[in-house]
Amino acid sequence: MRHVNKLVIFMALLFIVLLLSACQAPAVSTDNAAAPADTGESQAAVAAEPADMSESEAEAPAAPADTAESETEATAEPADTGESEAEVTTETADMSESEAEATAEPADMAESEAEDSAAAPPARTLEEKIASATSAGPAPIAQDAAILDYPEDWPGNWPDEPAPELIEIRTGSNGWTCIIDRPDTPGNDPMCLNDTYLEVFLSQFNLVDAPSTGVGFGYMLQGGGPVGSPPHMMVFVPESNSSFDAFGTEPGPFPWIMFPETSQQHLMVLMTPPAGAVTAADDKIANAMSAGPAPIAQDAAILDYPEDWPGNWPDEPAPELIEIREGSNGWTCIVDIPDTPGNDPMCLNDTYLEMLMAQRNLVEAPSTGVGFGYMLQGGGPVGSPPHMMVFVPESNGSFDVFGTEPGPFPWIMYPETPNQHLMVLAS
């Protein structure tokens, strides 16, 4: 019994020992778990590294928190950078806008330069300017004329103020001046002017009165001018202004008044090339019409010489001419004169026809009026080149500036007689 009790006590003690051992093993594992507690600490340290990293990420995110701050600063930089990128982007956008504007400026400049270059003709050389000016008049006159050009600021503030002065680009030697194409008119309109007509032309731009005496001629054989006229001549005869009531003011093929009722008023006289020469033997009507510009000759009356021409003239009145075609425009064309060596038909307005018939009828020529006669095939008593006759008896007092010798410049035919008139070269 005592033996059994000891055994029971022994077994109980063993059980307690085993129980204690079993209770102590978790404590070891707790110690060992102190390693994971250390590991936990080191994991906590590591995770305190991540916790410290979290702190350092909180510090490192303090780097990142600081990084977050610095990312908040760096995203406050990117926020700032966002702001500064926004600013940079805004700047870039502004730059893009300003580059776009700067690009738009060159584009606009390019457009306006393109418009300017389209609008402005290329600059002409001196030779081209001289050729332009001299094309306005007959070569024997234009070749020795002075040449004037317009300044760059033409016409300035004209007509509110006098226009800028023209520039002489070539000196002349014959009393005539040719002026290049005007830059402020749409067409090509150079001109060649004698001294009197030049004074008239410049008076208009200097805002002063034109001269009240003299005989002025201006050629515009390229046409043009304020109303885009065909090739023509300007005739300025202020002492004959009272006879201008026979002419209209509407542009047309017949002489008409430019600048009516002003001191610069003058007559515009058509000067287009004639038809080709036709002999009277081949076609009398075509021969007569070839003397004048077609728009005038086409509706003119046609006169022919009788077989007994000139009769006993100048001792007696000449035989009467024969009308072979009626006219409707106040002009008369006459076939080639049979008693002269060359081909010399003529086309005359009513006043000039009256003067010619007075000479043949041995009576006084009219003392008033303005007469024009075309002889665009040339000829006549002295075999002149193609020319126009201008009969202005009220202006005879101003003829003293003209000579009596045939030549390229206006000269007096039948001087100091009632039939005196000026012969003016046509081409």
Q: Within 13 Å, how many C-alpha atoms sit on residue 20's CB side? A: 6
305 and 349 share one domain: yes
Q: What is the pLDDT of residues 134-186, one digit of tens each?
A: 999 999 999 999 999 999 999 999 999 999 999 999 999 999 999 999 998 88
Domains in the chain, number: 2
Q: What is the DSSP string of 334-398?
A: E---TTSSS---EEEEHHHHHHHHHHHHTSPPPSSS-EEEEETT-BTTTTB-SEEEEE-GGGGGG
Q: Are residues 235 and 263 in the same domain?
A: yes
Is the torsion defined by CA of 250, 347, 175, 128 positive or negative? positive
**Nearest residue to 299 (alpha-carbon basis) of 275, 272, 326, 321:** 326
- Whether residues 266 and 289 share a domain: the answer is no
- Does residue 37 fall inside a structural domain? no
Residue 368 domain boundaries = 284-425
CA pair distance 373, 291, nearest whole angstrom? 9
**What does DSSP say about strands 256-258 and 232-236: parallel, antiparallel, or unpaired?**
unpaired
Domain edge (last residue) among 209, 236, 270: 270
| Residue 123, number of CB atoms within 10 A of its CB | 7
Question: Looking at the structure, do residues 323 and 189 belong to the same domain, yes or no?
Answer: no
Nearest to 346 by CA among 239, 403, 359, 268: 359
- Same-domain pairing of 240 and 318: no
Positions in the chain short of pLDDT 70? 1-121
CA dihedral 273, 274, 279, 283 (to 10 degrees): 150
Task: Report how far residue 183's alpha carbon sits from residue 148's, in angstroms, rounded to the nearest whole number.
Answer: 13
Asked if residue 91 belongs to a domain, the reply is no
**Boundary of a domain, candidates 270, 295, 329:** 270
Does residue 355 share a domain with residue 253? no
Q: Is residue 137 part of a domain?
A: yes
* Domain co-membership, 402 together with 332: yes
List the one residue out of 344, 338, 253, 355 whose CA is nearest residue 299: 253
Q: In terms of domains, do 266 and 133 share one?
A: yes
